[in-house]
Amino acid sequence: MNWLTRLLGTRTDTASLDAALRDAIASWEALAAPELGSAHFETRYVVINTEATGLDLDKDRLLAVAAIAIDREHLSPQDSYYAPLEPDAATALTNLLTFAGKGPVVVFNASFNRSLLERALDEHLGLTPDWTWLDLHWLLPALYEEHIDGPARLADWMKAFGIETFQRHHALGDAWAIAQLMQAAQARARALGLNTPRSLADLEHSRRQLRRHG
Amino acid sequence: MPAAASEMLVGASSDFLTRFSPFNRMEPEALEFLAERATLAFHARGSEILTPEMGQPTHFHIVQRGKVQARQLGPASVTDYAAMTLGPGECFPIGALSAQRPSTNAYVAVKDSFVFQLPAEDFLKLMQMSPVFHVFCTQYIASLLNQSRQQLQSTFAQRAAEQQTMTTPLGQLVKKEAIFVTPDSSIRAALEKMSEMRIGCMVITDAERKPIGILTQSDLLPRVVLPGIDLQRPIGDVMTATPHVMSASDSAYDAALEMATHGVRHLLVVDSEGRLKGVVSERDLFTLQRIGLRQIRSSIEGADDIEALQRASRDIRQLALNLIAQGIGAEQLTQFISALNDALTCRIIDLARARHDLYGIEYAWLAFGSEGRHEQTLSSDQDNGIIYVCPEGADQAALKSRLLACAKEVNENLAACGFPLCKGNIMASNPELCLTLEEWKGRFGDWIREPDPQALLNATIFFDYRVLCGNERLGDQLRAWLNRTAKAYSNFLRLMASNALQVAPPLGRIRDFVVEDDGTIDLKKSGARLFVDVARILALRADVASSSTVQRLRQAGSRMGMPPEEIAALIDGFHFIQLLRLRAQHLDTEHDAPGDNCIDPDTLNELDRRILKEAFRQARKLQLRLKLDYQL
């Protein structure tokens, strides 16, 4: 796939996918929306992370996706997902949808990850999930301003919490670190009375606004 | 592939774990089992991860990053550590999970911490599948046991705080500066000082500060006020001389025991040179006061009739149950029961003596069997006898019948107070057991020279005698003679040994325990008795005067050159079995109920089962020693 085909918008029609994938997508679509007003300890958050050929949204393309669930505030190695897009991007992405369900999803730096992933989903599966996205890039400085009081790189936040991972710049390796940051974010949010996914979404929203106007 | 992701993350967890012991030595499949099932949780600084109030812990925790503090609840000064900090790779709560009881520590994150957790049932599975992990946990528990060797049960007692208090050295209980006067001070000056300092007693010391007397508030009425003593007279005239003194290193238990034994309310604490350090009052031993040890003691002493003593007897039983519930150790518990039962028996004898003319007769009341060994449980029946001296020229038959009449009343009153009459008639009112020193020697001598099965059985009951009240010298003379004689007849000791080896500890080759047909273990027959029987033989051989199994093992063992750790382990094993017996009786309140002493090992928690197994191994070790000594 080159920049030209992308430009021409050769997006796949769901109808062209094989039956098993169509069924999986249909049952994903049939899932109920998550209850954003329930508490963290009742919520399954899904941390999603991507791996791309580079950091340029226009030129680079998605290589692999990874996801780790934080189910009721716990990280379980078993509850995780990783797949390269080659050779079968449609299957890799469909399985990601099945794993993530209806979210809420957590990313670090949505402007890149979310854009890249939404584009791939649209391209290969012809859909855009209506997930609630929570971006730690904004949430962490709002919750832990004693560590870093503005948007910072993942490496800085890992250092602030002493978090290590088994492989940096690998979709799953970084997801493992991001998931731990999300656990820390949940604990602090709870201490501040922000008990639900919705309250985190509101916090992120107001931060973005402040940043824009401040 | 979902599998690929979890493999990577499980790999990451096990890579982390292998940086620490014991996980670095763990079998690969066990490590994988752990890494697959461990989930990661975040605990913000200051948050509680596990506390005793949370009940039985549901998870095993391994610190991944951060710092967790284990805080011992209760008085901080009484344990080796008040707080212990756990860092990455360290885990908790091993003892509580193994025993399936609430943690005695509170675990609090002192830094933002990430902690792996494993469900409790997986923790137990891991112990089963990994010998390395099993050894790690067992050694950890053993180190806990070591820390509190005096208090074997502390690992499973839920109310650790209270019992720990009772191991506090008296030196630490003495809070106030000692207040004292010399014997030549006037009574008035001493009383003024007592009133000014608001203290309940005044200590009288010599010039070197060594205590020589005490005057308590309750002495004032009979000794000062009612006789109208001149307050200018020296206090030395009215004080109680030779007061009860304890060393600063003695424990609160020792003090409580001393107070219960002698019926006093104040004890003087002295330093290593015998100088007054302070006073410990009953009130200072608050936990015991709440239980009412002293009240029972004074109600026994003040009892004028059997009804009052029956009430006291019920109180003793209740006290014992309370103490069991509090998790007190077997040694202390049996000592308390024994001290109070002794007081009760002595009072019953006093009351009987007042109605029977025993004037001028030298005698001693003997306790046999478990009572003689200070090992009474709540369901022991009475085993007693009398030793007396018949003065030259006296009418022995008349004298003996006076003793028997008195003994009969004592036996009946003991029965009324909850010590059932002995079915085998081993009681002082039996003319066969009310004997002079010479007659006892003859009786014992017959058994030793002709050790038929009945003689050997008798020896196991009667050789464990002790003088409960009366002339102790008579008991000492008999003991000295008995030890000398038994030692000379090595065939007798050999037969005793072979008898003691008839019952083996119920340890199974395949299963943990060999049980009776009804699935239980008789902790008396195949537990405690194994220790008692060997200890008796060792004591006879090593010329130990004590009748208590623990003392016999301790003294004979050290005389025979057994290493102190080995002796301590034997004693711990014996205490543990005794404690389980007492706990089993806790439920059966009837005397000699059929269920007494029987325990179904399946109802024990993992830790207790393991300690019981170890206790039986100690019994086997002791038996093996005997086997080698006598080449049986």
The stretch B330-339 carries a mean pLDDT of 77
Domain boundary residue, one of B112, B147, B182: B147
Give the ipTM. Answer: 0.88
Asked, for residue B87, whether it belongs to a domain, the answer is yes
Residues B185 and B140 in one domain: no
Residue B628 has pLDDT above 90, yes or no: no
Asked, for residue B388, whether it belongs to a domain, the answer is no
The whole-angstrom distance between B113's CA and the closest CA on chain A is: 9
Q: What is the pLDDT of residues B32-77, one digit of tens each?
A: 999 999 999 999 998 889 988 787 888 999 999 999 988 876 433 3
CB nearest B2 (choices: A76, A99, A173)? A99
pLDDT band for B328, please (50, 70, 90 cuts): low
Partner-chain contact B42 A95, CB within 8 Å: no
Q: What is the CA radius of gyration of chain A?
A: 17
Asked, for residue A30, whether it belongs to a domain, the answer is no
Angle at the Cα of B238 from the Cα atoms of B236 and B244, rounded to 5 degrees: 80
Q: How many helices (H) and strands (E) does chain A have?
A: 8, 5
Residue A48 to residues A131, B185, B483: CA-CA distances in angstroms?
Answer: 12, 88, 83
Contact B343, B376 (CB under 8 A): no
Contact B107, B93 (CB under 8 A): yes
Residue B618 to residues B445, B501, B571: CA-CA distances in angstroms?
Answer: 32, 14, 9
* Token representation of residue B278: 């302070």
Residue to test with chain B: of A73, A76, A144, A178, most B Cβ within 10 A: A76
| Residue B595, pLDDT score | 58
Partner-chain contact B114 A74, CB within 8 Å: no
* Token representation of residue B162: 């209270």
| Residue B257, pLDDT score | 76
Q: What is the pLDDT of residues B91-128, one digit of tens each?
A: 999 888 887 777 878 899 999 999 999 999 999 999 88
CATH number, domain with residue B591: 1.20.120
Partner-chain contact A75 B41, CB within 8 Å: yes
Question: What pTM value is reported for the model?
Answer: 0.48
CATH number, domain with residue B67: 2.60.120.10
- Burial (CB count within 10 angstroms: exposed 0-12, middle 13-18, buried 19+), residue B253: buried
Alpha-carbon span B228 to B302, nearest angstrom: 26
| Residue B143, pLDDT score | 57
Residue B222 has pLDDT above 50, yes or no: yes
Q: Evaluate the CA torsion angle B426, B338, B437, B483 in order and state its sign.
A: positive
Asked, for residue B494, whether it belongs to a domain, the answer is yes
Partner-chain contact B2 A75, CB within 8 Å: no
Asked, for residue A167, whether it belongs to a domain, the answer is yes
Q: What are phi and psi of B49, to 5 degrees?
A: -95, -40
Residues B50 and B177 in one domain: no
**Residue span of the structural domain in which A102 resides:** 41-213
Residue A63 has pLDDT above 90, yes or no: yes
Residue B566 to residues B534, B622, B630: CA-CA distances in angstroms?
Answer: 15, 10, 20
CATH number, domain with residue B193: 3.10.580.10
Cis peptide preceding B211, ω within 30 of 0: no
* Token representation of residue B185: 């001070």
Asked, for residue B359, whether it belongs to a domain, the answer is no
Q: Does A82 touch chain B (CB under 8 A)?
A: yes
| Residue B291, pLDDT score | 47
Partner-chain contact A82 B36, CB within 8 Å: no
Query: Structurally, how many domains does chain A consist of?
Result: 1
Residue B617 or A6, more confident: B617
Asked, for residue B88, whether it belongs to a domain, the answer is yes
Residues B59 and B188 in one domain: no
Per the DSSP assignment, residues forming a β-bridge with B116 are B40, B62
Residue B626 to residues A155, B91, B559, B623, B631: CA-CA distances in angstroms?
Answer: 69, 42, 15, 5, 8
- Burial (CB count within 10 angstroms: exposed 0-12, middle 13-18, buried 19+), residue B51: middle
Q: What is the pLDDT of residues A95-141, one digit of tens each?
A: 999 999 998 999 999 889 999 999 999 999 999 999 999 999 999 99
**Paired sense of beta strands B362-367 and B466-470, if any:** antiparallel
Residues B132 and B188 in one domain: no
The whole-angstrom distance between A167's CA and the closest CA on chain B is: 9
Alpha-carbon span B385 to B367, nearest angstrom: 7
| Residue B113, pLDDT score | 95
CB-CB neighbours of B222 under 10 Å = 10
Asked, for residue B466, whether it belongs to a domain, the answer is no
Partner-chain contact A77 B10, CB within 8 Å: yes
Mean pLDDT lowest for which of B12-16, B423-427, B560-564?
A: B560-564
**Residue span of the structural domain in which B525 resides:** 489-632
Nearest CA in chain B to A72: B41
Alpha-carbon span B52 to B58, nearest angstrom: 12
Taking each helix axis from N to C end, the angle separating B606-630 and B131-147, rounded to the nearest 10 degrees, works out to 80
Asked, for residue A10, whether it belongs to a domain, the answer is no
* Token representation of residue B15: 């890579």
* Token representation of residue A168: 């940096």
* Token representation of residue B495: 């037969």
CB-CB neighbours of B192 under 10 Å = 12
Asked, for residue A171, whether it belongs to a domain, the answer is yes
pLDDT band for B149, please (50, 70, 90 cuts): very low
Nearest to B188 by CA among B226, B224, B218: B224
Q: What DSSP line would sit under B371-388, residue for residue?
A: HHTT---TT----EEEEE
CATH number, domain with residue A136: 3.30.420.10
Alpha-carbon span A211 to B588, nearest angstrom: 74
Asked, for residue A2, whether it belongs to a domain, the answer is no
Q: Does A184 touch chain B (CB under 8 A)?
A: yes
Q: What is the CA radius of gyration of chain B?
A: 29
**Which residue stretches of chain A are H helix?**
3-8, 19-30, 89-100, 110-125, 136-143, 154-161, 171-191, 197-213
Per the DSSP assignment, residues forming a β-bridge with B585 are none
* Token representation of residue B554: 């301790």
Per the DSSP assignment, residues forming a β-bridge with B109 are B68
Asked, for residue A11, whether it belongs to a domain, the answer is no
Alpha-carbon span B10 to B3, nearest angstrom: 10
CB nearest B15 (choices: A73, A79, A166)? A166
* Token representation of residue B605: 């928690």
What single letter denotes the amino acid at residue B115? V
Domain boundary residue, one of B259, B281, B303: B281
Contact B224, B238 (CB under 8 A): yes
Burial B258-282 (b: 16+ CB within 10 A, else e): bbbbeebbbbbbbeeeeebbbbbbb
Asked, for residue A105, whether it belongs to a domain, the answer is yes
Q: What is chain B's mean pLDDT, rounded? A: 84
What 8-state DSSP symbol labels residue A63? E
Map tokens 């009430």 to a residue: B311
Domain boundary residue, one of B253, B281, B309: B281
Partner-chain contact B6 A80, CB within 8 Å: yes
Asked, for residue A155, whether it belongs to a domain, the answer is yes
Partner-chain contact A78 B10, CB within 8 Å: yes
Residues B82 and B188 in one domain: no
| Residue B165, pLDDT score | 53
Residues B139 and B196 in one domain: no
Q: How many helices (H) and strands (E) does chain B have?
A: 24, 21
pLDDT band for A15, please (50, 70, 90 cuts): low
What 8-state DSSP symbol labels residue B524? I
Alpha-carbon span B173 to B82, nearest angstrom: 18
| Residue A12, pLDDT score | 58
Residue B296 or A118, more confident: A118
H or E segment and range at residue B261: helix B252-262
Residues B49 and B174 in one domain: no
Residue to test with chain B: of A79, A81, A82, most B Cβ within 10 A: A82
Question: What's B136-157 look like in SS3?
Answer: HHHHHHHHHHHHCHHHHHHHCC
The whole-angstrom distance between A203's CA and the closest CA on chain B is: 20
pLDDT band for A3, please (50, 70, 90 cuts): very low
Q: What is the pLDDT of residues A26-39, one digit of tens each?
A: 999 999 999 898 88
Q: What is the pLDDT of residues B261-284, one digit of tens each?
A: 777 888 999 988 889 999 988 777
Query: Structurally, how many domains does chain B consist of?
Result: 3
CB nearest B4 (choices: A82, A184, A188)? A82
pLDDT band for B394, please (50, 70, 90 cuts): confident
Angle at the Cα of B290 from the Cα atoms of B284 and B296, rounded to 5 degrees: 105
Percentages helix, strand, coil for chain B (3-state, rounded to 5) are: 55, 15, 30
Contact B30, B19 (CB under 8 A): no
Asked, for residue B57, whether it belongs to a domain, the answer is yes
